[in-house]
Amino acid sequence: MFKIELIKMKMHTKSFGFILVLALLVSACKPDLKEIGPDAVPGDGIYGSWEIAQVIQTDLKTPIPESRNVTAFVTSSPSRTLQLRMNKDSINTYDVLQQGVLPKVLGTGGTWQYDQTPYPTKINFYTSYGDTVTAPLKNMVRDYDPQLGFDIIRKDSCGAAYLKYEYTFKRID
């Protein structure tokens, strides 16, 4: 009887040893992690030229805000399309390359800055008209992203929001 228990114990020890060796072999097969390049700087992807790709207009004065996609109207011909260039210089300037048919809230150019770094949620445009336009970002643009999106909310003389434009731009350079 003692001999049978000893044989069973040896079998369990061999099984445990086999499982332990197998686990060590499997864990040794993991590849080494390599550096894939420098970290992207949040917000640096905005530099370059952009062309309007989509515009959604929302009436904020109705009891249930109603949205309408007006992209077909604003992109029906090249001369109707809004184009911007975000310059990478010491003061972050921007130029409106082509006004198109959208409201001219950004002027002909000016300067811009993010609301916070390193992870901005809004962009402030300081226009050539002397206005400040704050636009919530729809996405954080990296230098390889093809789209930039932000919203512009129009307000009446009392400061109440009445219309929202949701702009989506595509990279053109």
100-146 pLDDT, tens per residue?
888 888 999 999 999 988 888 999 999 998 999 999 999 888 888 89
The chain-wide mean pLDDT, for the chain, equals 85
Q: Is residue 164 part of a domain?
A: yes
Q: Is residue 36 part of a domain?
A: no
Q: What does the block give as tokens for 14?
A: 């061999």
CA distances from 96 to 24, 30, 40, 48, 146 (A): 62, 51, 27, 12, 19
The residues facing 137 across adjacent strands are: 150
Q: What does the block give as tokens for 161?
A: 């929001």
In total, how many domains does the chain have?
A: 1
CA distances from 23 to 15, 16, 20, 26, 27 (A): 12, 11, 5, 5, 6
- With a cut of 90, say whether residue 16 has pLDDT above it: no
CATH number at residue 133: 2.40.128
Q: Is residue 121 part of a domain?
A: yes
What's the predicted TM-score (pTM) here? 0.74
pLDDT confidence tier of residue 90, bands split at 50, 70 and 90: confident
Determine the Cα angle at 79 with ends 46 and 114, to 5°. 20
Count of residues in the chain: 173
pLDDT at residue number 113: 93
pLDDT at residue number 109: 94
Q: What does the block give as tokens for 23?
A: 């686990």
Domain that holds residue 131: 47-171
